[in-house]
């Protein structure tokens, strides 16, 4: 049997992963041995969304790679083991570990590195770059320990993202930009001025037209204490982030004798081949035939497709790319597309500017009326449509495209005006015509990858899809979640199988359902269990088979296969005796212990077989499940209120405890969080919760629809100056109306913005009983309260339920050997060794 040719990919960033996907799409992973050498300790992740780490997204959520893809295609992925030497004569790549691989085809996707100006002190303690997840972790750790003020060198895209991160960490933040305006590459003087007004209004200090001359240090460890600027001034700061642009990582290519551009970048032809026909270069390390080094992900994706096509002997060329971009920086929409600066001869500008709102719009129009490009700051709603129209003559006058509603502009230009060949998703080069060949957004994403890159095209894609199309929950049911809720409630259907057989689609009936509808229906049945006579426990009968992993084991699965244990601590109030029990449990089972943001104690590192033993002790001490694993009420946070605080006007602790005990275990479309503040100083942060309560001198104000997660939203005031009874009655109604009408996995924040009529409609329903539903909503909640039972208390007393808490069915007493820990700061953390992944291991490599 002939040996398969070997393809070595050096680098596993966003472009590298897209290249692997392009290989798999063409079947090349079946005909080639594919070896990937990755410098970072983790597989490819979304560098475009890197800053979202500081707003709650975890590194795992940023990942673009699942182990299933790597293993399924037999890819040999070596993490933390970059290529260090390449011998073109023998076609051999040597990695840092000493691993050697002989290649038939080599693809360089080494990306870029942050440019750090050669100023004295640039390597001092407290100086960082902003490029990788590890950079972010280091900045976060240093800021928490040693910094109150931070400065960012660079006011471009990454610089403003870094500034947003420092601001999010609570640091007083400065931005230093050598150019006379922020984002000089993307926006013009007018756009930069609008951006400056908005950003300084947020409390950031911006210094434009000055450079950094020196980083001044002090103290025993020589840590940063100030920056000296080119105008002679000094800027006091504890932390400096260099974000002054990037440079191509082309040193490997230089060392192996490949041709590079005068200003850097591995020169490639239209097929992305280097000066060696056996070597390709893609992404930020490559200089394309037009002489550009592209620093955006979309051109890199096009290069990845081009090389995969070339290897497969298919047509494909890369001669240049669209540089359009849209992002949200510090909460401000900024976009530029096409010839944004008007470099073409004879072009004209159409400008709309409103300094009060921080809005700036400029369109560049050619001599024949064609739209050449534009800049949008503060309001980028029309970006998708305008970018797709670039190069054509718009069907309306240019000034009508920038005027706001109510200023004489007609109805906004809709997507129907776009030609079929208009590119909607520039990241993956997907046209309107290709998108409209599909019926739903998930189908579009799966089949074309449109909307899976930067995400700026998702709204326009939604507008292009059939608006009157199928709104069913999934392929198994033609009904929405809200409709299924009503069917279950009215017909008292107590099992998933019965619901699927009676109301599923043709072809789905009698089947097993899918991963979308099973947990959704399981949640509906659990929330209505007392009313419809269903099994009340999530681990009983058919209900157990409907649950996600977390509900299946009544615990939160962690990254190394262990679980966390979170007992409920209503209002954050706990007796010394109960606190001692938690400490003893953590000590005896060797668990990592941490105070959560919701006034509870998290115990990490429990093996699945230990969960019943841990909960037996906690239940015996009076604790119950905190439902940290379920789509249910998590916590009702509180301040100390009038009992202790001199500003408190109501007993917030008592109210928080009452609410948490009332709504504990309430299954919902998504997790629910709440808080009660004892006065207007809002120490419990009630306005960032799904339902929040703030004390007044006359009672309580009720806020709803808040979300402090990845997309923060302030809650809206639903009613004010309520008595205790009025407050609880309105919360009962609000929660049951939400559970009844929300979509699957929809937080109250998204539900409130989506539901027709918004807050006014919700107020009419739950306060004024406009639909005559309130008695029914209150009765549903009363059923829940009356029938609540702690899931863990029931589980540890039921031998049948306990049988599921094992790592191996055929060896129930054996622990999972892959669940390992190492010591850190007198506690434990998961032991996650860097492994090479693949079904065809390399000689001398370690594989999982």
- 812 vs 727, which has greater pLDDT? 727
Fold of 322-413: Enolase-like; domain 1 (3.30.390)
Distances (CA, A) of 720 to 505, 698, 770, 804: 46, 9, 19, 48
Residue 836 has a pLDDT of 33
Of 195, 129, 434, residue with least CA distance to 331? 195
Average pLDDT over residues 248-267: 94
Average pLDDT over residues 464-475: 67
Residue 839 has a pLDDT of 31
| CA gap 532, 541 in Å, rounded | 16
pLDDT band at 818 (very low <50, low <70, confident <90, very high): low
Other C-beta atoms closer than 10 Å to the C-beta of 278 total 12
> Contact, 74 vs 63, CB < 8 A?
no
Q: Which two tokens stand for residue 62?
A: 């940023």
Residue 507 has a pLDDT of 64
**Packing angle between helix 774-787 and helix 758-766, nearest 10 degrees?**
80
Judged against a pLDDT cut of 70, whether residue 164 lies above it is answered with yes
| CA gap 686, 753 in Å, rounded | 19
Our CA angle for 402, 161, 238, nearest 5°, is 140
Average pLDDT over residues 455-476: 69
Other C-beta atoms closer than 10 Å to the C-beta of 644 total 10
Average pLDDT over residues 265-276: 95
- Residue 600 phi/psi, 5-degree rounding, is -130, 180
Residue 408 has a pLDDT of 45
Domain spans in the chain, listed from the N-terminal domain onward: 6-113+248-311, 127-244, 322-413, 418-467, 481-543, 556-787
Q: Which two tokens stand for residue 211?
A: 């450079």
Judged against a pLDDT cut of 60, whether residue 474 lies above it is answered with yes
- 688 vs 390, which has greater pLDDT? 688
Judged against a pLDDT cut of 90, whether residue 223 lies above it is answered with yes
- What proportion of the chain, given as a percentage, has pLDDT over 90? 44
List of residues 6+ apart from 749 with CB closer than 8 A: 690, 705, 706, 707, 711, 713
Q: Output DSSP code: residue 812.
A: T
| CA gap 410, 76 in Å, rounded | 56
| CA gap 399, 403 in Å, rounded | 6
CATH of domain 127-244: 3.50.50.60
Q: Does 3.50.50.60 match the CATH number of domain 6-113+248-311?
A: yes
Please report which residue ranges of 152-250 form alpha helices under DSSP H. Answer: 157-168, 189-201
Q: Does 3.50.50.60 match the CATH number of domain 418-467?
A: no
Residue 845 has a pLDDT of 28
β-bridge mates for residue 721, sequence order: none
**Pairing state of beta strands 601-606 and 563-565?**
antiparallel
Judged against a pLDDT cut of 60, whether residue 255 lies above it is answered with yes
Residue 810 has a pLDDT of 54
Average pLDDT over the chain reads 85
Of 622, 700, 634, residue with least CA distance to 664? 634
Phi/psi-derived region of residue 170, left when phi > 0, alpha when psi is between -120 and 50, beta in every other case: left
CATH of 556-787, one of 3.30.413.10, 2.130.10.10, 3.20.20.70, 3.30.310.220: 3.30.413.10
Residue 453 has a pLDDT of 67
- 765 vs 389, which has greater pLDDT? 765
- 65 vs 31, which has greater pLDDT? 31
| CA gap 18, 11 in Å, rounded | 12
> Contact, 703 vs 717, CB < 8 A?
yes
| Winning range, highest mean pLDDT, from 34-38, 354-358, 794-798, 827-831 | 34-38
Give, for 643, the enclosing helix (H) or strand (E). Answer: helix 641-644
Judged against a pLDDT cut of 60, whether residue 834 lies above it is answered with no
Average pLDDT over residues 730-740: 96
**481-501 tens-digit pLDDT:** 888 998 988 888 888 888 888
Residue 535 has a pLDDT of 63
pTM assigned to the model: 0.55
Judged against a pLDDT cut of 80, whether residue 715 lies above it is answered with yes
Judged against a pLDDT cut of 60, whether residue 106 lies above it is answered with yes
Average pLDDT over residues 691-719: 90
> Contact, 54 vs 165, CB < 8 A?
yes
List of residues 6+ apart from 578 with CB closer than 8 A: 621, 622, 623
- 2 vs 313, which has greater pLDDT? 313
Average pLDDT over residues 693-704: 95
3-state secondary structure of 426: coil
Judged against a pLDDT cut of 50, whether residue 833 lies above it is answered with no
* Among the ranges given (152-156, 212-216, 510-514), the one the predictor scored with the smallest mean pLDDT: 510-514
* Among the ranges given (674-678, 763-767, 830-834), the one the predictor scored with the smallest mean pLDDT: 830-834
In the block, tokens 């913005």 appear at 753
Give residue 517's Cα distance to chain centre. Answer: 23
Judged against a pLDDT cut of 70, whether residue 139 lies above it is answered with yes
- 548 vs 701, which has greater pLDDT? 701
Residue 563 has a pLDDT of 83
Average pLDDT over residues 631-637: 92
Residue 61 has a pLDDT of 78
| Winning range, highest mean pLDDT, from 32-36, 483-487, 519-523 | 32-36
The DSSP string of 491-516 is: HT---HHHHHHHHSPTTTTTS---TT
Judged against a pLDDT cut of 70, whether residue 814 lies above it is answered with no
| CA gap 630, 408 in Å, rounded | 50
β-bridge mates for residue 362, sequence order: 351, 375
Fold: same for 418-467 and 556-787 = no
Per-residue HEC secondary structure of 379-406 comes to CCCCHHHHHHHCCCCCCCCHHHHHCCCC
**182-212 tens-digit pLDDT:** 888 788 888 888 888 888 877 889 999 999 9
| CA gap 621, 580 in Å, rounded | 10
State in Å, rounded, how far the first CA of the chain is from the last one. 26
Give, for 14, the enclosing helix (H) or strand (E). Answer: helix 14-25
């Amino acid at each position: 049997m002939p040996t398969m040719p070997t393809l070595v990919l050096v680098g596993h960033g966003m472009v590298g992963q897209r290249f692997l996907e392009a290989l798999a799409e063409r079947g090349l992973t079946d005909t080639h041995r594919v070896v990937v050498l990755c410098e970072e300790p983790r597989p490819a992740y979304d560098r475009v969304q890197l800053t979202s780490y500081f707003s709650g997204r975890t590194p795992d959520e940023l990942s673009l790679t699942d182990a299933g893809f790597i293993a399924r295609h037999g890819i040999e992925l070596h993490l933390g083991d970059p290529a260090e030497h390449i011998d073109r004569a023998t076609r051999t790549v040597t990695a840092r570990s000493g691993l050697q691989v002989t290649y038939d085809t080599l693809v360089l996707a080494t990306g870029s590195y942050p440019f750090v100006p050669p100023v004295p002190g640039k390597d001092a303690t407290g100086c960082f770059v902003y490029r990788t997840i590890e950079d972010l972790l280091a900045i976060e750790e240093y800021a928490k320990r040693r910094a109150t003020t931070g400065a960012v060198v660079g006011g471009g895209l990454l610089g403003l993202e870094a500034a947003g991160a420092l601001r999010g960490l609570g640091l007083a933040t400065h931005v230093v930009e050598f150019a006379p305006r922020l984002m000089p590459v993307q926006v013009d003087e007018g756009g930069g001025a609008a951006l400056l007004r908005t950003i300084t209004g947020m409390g950031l200090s911006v210094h434009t037209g000055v450079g950094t001359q020196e980083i001044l240090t002090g103290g025993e460890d020589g840590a940063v204490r100030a920056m000296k600027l080119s105008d002679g001034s000094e800027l006091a700061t504890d932390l400096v982030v260099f974000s002054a642009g990037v440079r191509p990582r082309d040193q490997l290519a230089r060392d192996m004798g490949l041709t590079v551009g005068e200003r850097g970048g591995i020169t490639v032809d239209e097929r992305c081949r280097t000066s060696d026909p056996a070597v390709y270069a893609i992404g930020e390390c490559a200089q394309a035939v037009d002489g550009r080094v592209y620093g955006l992900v979309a051109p890199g994706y096009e290069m990845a497709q081009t090389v995969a096509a070339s290897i497969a002997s298919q047509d494909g060329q890369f001669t240049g790319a669209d540089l359009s971009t849209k992002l949200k920086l510090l909460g401000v929409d900024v976009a530029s597309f096409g010839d944004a600066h008007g470099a073409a001869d004879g072009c004209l500008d159409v400008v709309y500017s409103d300094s009060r709102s921080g809005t700036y719009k400029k369109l560049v129009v050619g001599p024949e009326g064609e739209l050449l490009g534009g800049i949008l700051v503060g309001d980028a709603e029309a970006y998708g449509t305008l970018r797709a129209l670039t190069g054509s003559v718009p069907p309306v006058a240019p000034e009508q495209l920038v005027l706001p509603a109510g200023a004489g502009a007609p109805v906004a230009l809709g997507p129907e005006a776009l030609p079929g060949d208009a590119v909607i998703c520039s990241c993956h080069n997907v046209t309107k015509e290709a998108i409209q060949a599909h019926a739903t957004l998930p189908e579009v994403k799966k089949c074309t990858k449109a909307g899976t890159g930067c995400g700026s095209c998702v709204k326009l894609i939604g507008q292009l899809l059939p608006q009157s199309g199928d709104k069913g929950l999934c392929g198994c049911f033609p009904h929405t979640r809200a409709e299924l809720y009503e069917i279950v409630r009215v017909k008292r259907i107590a099992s998933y199988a019965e619901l699927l057989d009676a109301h599923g689609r043709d072809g789905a009936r009698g089947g097993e359902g899918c991963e979308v509808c099973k947990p959704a229906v399981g949640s509906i049945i659990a929330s209505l269990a007392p009313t419809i006579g269903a099994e009340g426990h999530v681990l009983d009968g058919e209900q157990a088979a409907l649950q996600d992993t977390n509900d299946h084991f009544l615990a939160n699965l962690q990254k190394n296969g262990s679980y966390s244990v979170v007992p409920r601590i209503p209002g954050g109030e706990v007796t010394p005796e109960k606190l001692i029990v938690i400490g003893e449990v953590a000590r005896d089972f060797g668990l990592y212990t941490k105070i959560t943001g919701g006034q509870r104690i998290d115990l990490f590192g429990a093996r699945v077989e230990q969960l019943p033993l841990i909960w037996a002790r906690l239940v015996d001490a009076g604790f119950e499940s905190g439902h940290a694993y379920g789509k249910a009420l998590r916590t009702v946070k509180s301040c100390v209120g009038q009992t202790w605080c001199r500003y408190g006007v109501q007993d917030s602790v008592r109210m928080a405890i009452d609410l948490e005990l009332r709504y504990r275990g309430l299954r919902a479309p998504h997790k629910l969080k709440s808080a009660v503040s004892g006065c207007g100083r809002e120490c419990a942060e009630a306005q960032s919760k799904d339902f929040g309560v703030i004390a007044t001198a006359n009672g309580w104000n009720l806020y709803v629809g808040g979300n402090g997660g990845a997309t923060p939203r302030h809650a809206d005031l639903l009613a004010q100056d309520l008595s205790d009874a009025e407050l609880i009655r309105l919360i009962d109604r609000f929660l049951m109306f939400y559970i009844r009408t929300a979509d699957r996995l929809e937080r109250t924040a998204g539900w409130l913005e989506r539901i027709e009529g918004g807050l006014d409609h919700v107020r009419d329903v739950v306060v004024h009983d406009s639909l005559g539903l309130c008695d029914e909503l209150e009765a549903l909640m009363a059923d829940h309260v009356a029938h609540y039972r702690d899931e863990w208390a029931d589980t540890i007393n039921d031998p049948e339920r306990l049988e599921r808490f094992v790592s191996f069915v055929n060896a129930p007493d054996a622990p999972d050997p892959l669940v390992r820990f190492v010591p850190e700061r007198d506690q434990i953390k998961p032991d996650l060794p860097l492994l090479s992944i693949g079904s065809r291991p390399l000689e001398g490599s370690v594989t999982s």
